[in-house]
Structure 1
Amino acid sequence: MTTYVSRPVRALRDRPTSGESATLVLRLGDADPDAVGDVVEERGGEVDAELAFDALRVVVPEEAVADVCELDGLDAVETDATLDAGDAGEDVEPPEER
């Protein structure tokens, strides 16, 4: 099965900014959470939280996003800024403060 990678994550993966980090939500699917955590840490990141529905929130350097997207068994890789629209969540930028 192919891992779903959201459009904002694809942009981070394809054009990472050196010195910046990304907060991602990984829906684990068949992936081993301990193995995923090990890879995240090896790439200079950390597991920030274990979430409901077999998901992890991780913070990784943007240069490591491509490696995270390639992990076996993940169902999806999204940013942590998603808009809940029923069954169709999409990554969004938070509104600017006025």
Structure 2
Amino acid sequence: MNRKIIEEKIIENFKGEEKMMILVFAQWCVNHDLDPEELYLNAYPNQSSNPALREAIELTLPKEEAGEVDDQTLLGVLSLFGNDDLAFVVTEKIRKMNK
């Protein structure tokens, strides 16, 4: 394979994994009766709405049908993708929920 094809495959894989991270975040929010868009905007107030997040929200299941998304799993996934601001907002929500 030439270098350009390899780079395209890496980018394609990353985008797919990023979509999965967004879906995990959105499902965690739904499972905790939180608005994913609101949390996202708290973390990134200068960004407009995120089309990938809207798409992920449409793919979420009602919390009664969804599997549990562990808090630490979500934080690990967010960290893996460098979403430190969002991880901070999520950590604050977890702290409030556990009081």
Q: Report which of the two has the higher share of strand.
A: 1
Whether these two folds match at TM > 0.5 is: no
TM-score by length of 1: 0.30
Q: Which has the higher contact order (CA 8 A, sep 6+)?
A: 1
